[in-house]
Amino acid sequence: MKVTIRVPGSGKRCRSETRTFSSVTSGLLAMQDWLLAEQITVVGMEATGVYWKPVFYLLEHEYLLEHEMECWLPGARHMKAVPGRKTDVKDSEWIARLVECGLVRPSCVPPEPIRQLRDLSRYRTEVIRECTREAHRLEKLLEDAGIKLSAEVANILGVSGGAMLEALIVGERDPQVLADLAKGSMRRKTDALIEALTGHHAFLARAMLDRIDARSCPFAAASNSW
């Protein structure tokens, strides 16, 4: 990454200097040491994908601890591209000048607890979506095998449906035995279940159920609190 500083120089001129740092941890720490040594008080950076986050979080932590450095993440529309041939060095110099002259405003970056909660909730949403897609694949597999379980059971992964699927996978073939695994109100549908429970693809069904279980378990305990 290219880092440009602008600090008071001789007379009324500002001294400008640009250095290149690696984006690994050692490079980030070296950059931080340089900025602190130069007594930089405001740092502005371009919001490019996720690449700004390690830099912002490191310098933000320093600001919270020492109260010496403030981090800005200006919006992309506030930072017009510098005229001429675009390079990382020119972009770095341009951002430094914009921040120095107060021509950009920092975007709102939520505090760390909010960011952690947001990352967790987004990850949980993606896991749940993947579980739903896997359940749909399982339902299609059952249809392909001639099993019409979803026509009689609202949730094929519920207590009754899950018990029947597990029995099918381990080799149970008798529709009467499978239908007798129904629980609660499902027992009133025994005749319909016997008609629906015919044939199976055990290997694929086992793989799909295992995948659904693996994705559901990390959030199973916390699901009631959401």
In this prediction, residue 173 carries a pLDDT of 72
Distance between CA 89 and CA 31 in Å, rounded? 15
Q: How sure is the predictor about 13, in pLDDT bands with cuts at 50, 70 and 90?
A: confident
In this prediction, residue 178 carries a pLDDT of 79
**Statement: the pTM of the whole predicted model exceeds 0.75:** no
In this prediction, residue 84 carries a pLDDT of 64
pLDDT digits (tens, 9 = 90+) for 48-62: 788 888 899 888 876
pLDDT digits (tens, 9 = 90+) for 98-146: 888 888 888 888 888 899 999 999 999 999 898 889 888 888 888 777 7
CB atoms within 10 A of CB 180: 15
Q: Is 51 in a helix, a strand, or coil?
A: coil
Query: What mean pLDDT is predicted for residues 213-219?
Result: 65
Q: How sure is the predictor about 83, in pLDDT bands with cuts at 50, 70 and 90?
A: low
More confident residue, 68 or 166: 166
pLDDT of 46 higher than 80: yes
Distance between CA 97 and CA 160 in Å, rounded? 67
The CA-CA-CA angle for residues 171, 220, 183, to 5°, reads 45
Question: CB of 58 within 8 A of CB of 24?
Answer: no
Mean pLDDT (the chain) is 81
Do β-strands 14-20 and 2-8 pair in parallel, antiparallel, or remain unpaired? Answer: antiparallel
Distance between CA 51 and CA 1 in Å, rounded? 10
Nearest by Cα to 142 from 172, 174, 170, 169 = 169
More confident residue, 64 or 187: 187
In this prediction, residue 67 carries a pLDDT of 57
Q: Would you tell me which CATH number, out of the four given (1.20.120, 3.40.50, 3.30.420, 1.10.10), belongs to the domain 2-109? A: 3.30.420
The torsion of the CA quartet 116, 118, 121, 125, rounded to 10 degrees, works out to -130
In this prediction, residue 147 carries a pLDDT of 78
In this prediction, residue 226 carries a pLDDT of 45
pLDDT digits (tens, 9 = 90+) for 157-195: 888 888 888 888 787 777 788 788 888 777 777 777 777
| Residue-range domain boundaries for the chain | 2-109, 134-225
